[in-house]
Amino acid sequence: MSPEEVPMTAAFPDARELSPLQMAYLGDTLQDLYVRSRLVAHRAPVGQMHRRAVRFVSCEAQASMLERLQDTLTDAEADMVRRGRNAQAKHAAPRHAQAADYQKATGLETLWGWLYVTGQRERLDALMSAALSEMEELWAKQS
């Protein structure tokens, strides 16, 4: 199938047919889109937006976001995080990341992907907003 033939809105298979790593793959892109959308809304210079985006999508930042959200997750959401955290990627964590942070980040990304694939967009928006708002507050204090 050529790129022109791929529909812009994909019909996903049942979420039970996707691996946690497939959902994390999608969740990583979703978080990047949310982060970049928020940064563009602030109308900062592109270089500054890029530096902030990199900080928001780092393993360390995602692990911190997950720790802050943990108590607000439903049982099904917590199970999805656990499945993502325990998934065995075929590659090692990036050199600059702690293995535990990388596992937590993968769990969070799996949650984002699962919420998206299962059509829980309002819940995705709410959790993503909560996660990003807290990180924005932390970095505003550091700036």
Options 28, 32, 71, 125, the catalytic residue: 28
Rounded Cα distance, 57 and 59, in Å: 7
Return the ∠ at Cα 82 (arms to 80 and 85), rounded to 5°.
110
Q: Are 86 and 102 in contact (CB under 8 A)?
A: no
* Annotated catalytic residue 71: no
Active site residues: 28
